[in-house]
Amino acid sequence: MAITNFEVYATRLRDERLDVKLKQTIAHELCESLEAFQPQDYSRFVSILWPVIRDILLKTPPVFVGSAPEQ
C-alpha cells in the first residue's frame, strides 16, 4: 500500500467537518484494507495513522446510547 493511501485515510479521519457516520465508513474501509498491508507498511501505518486514531479515541467522549451513530 502506498504511503499516499495512508495519508488520505489520515486526512479524511482528521477532518472535523465530516459527519460521524462518514468517519465510520472511512474507518471500516481502512479496516477492510488492512489485509493488503505488507510488513514493510507497518512503520508507515504507525507513524501516519496511529496519531490520528489515537486523537480520535482520546477526544471523542464515550456514548452509551445504542441508537447513537457514535456507538
- Under DSSP, is residue 9 helix (H, G, I), strand (E, B) or coil? helix
With a cut of 80, say whether residue 3 has pLDDT above it: no
Give the three cell numbers for residue 60.
471523542
Helices 3-14 and 50-59 pack at an angle, to 10 degrees, of 20
For residue range 35-71, list pLDDT tens digits in order.
777 788 888 888 999 999 999 989 888 878 777 766 6
How far apart, in Å, are the Cα atoms of 36 and each of 2, 5, 28, 40, 42?
A: 11, 12, 14, 11, 11
CA angle 12-28-8, nearest 5°? Answer: 25
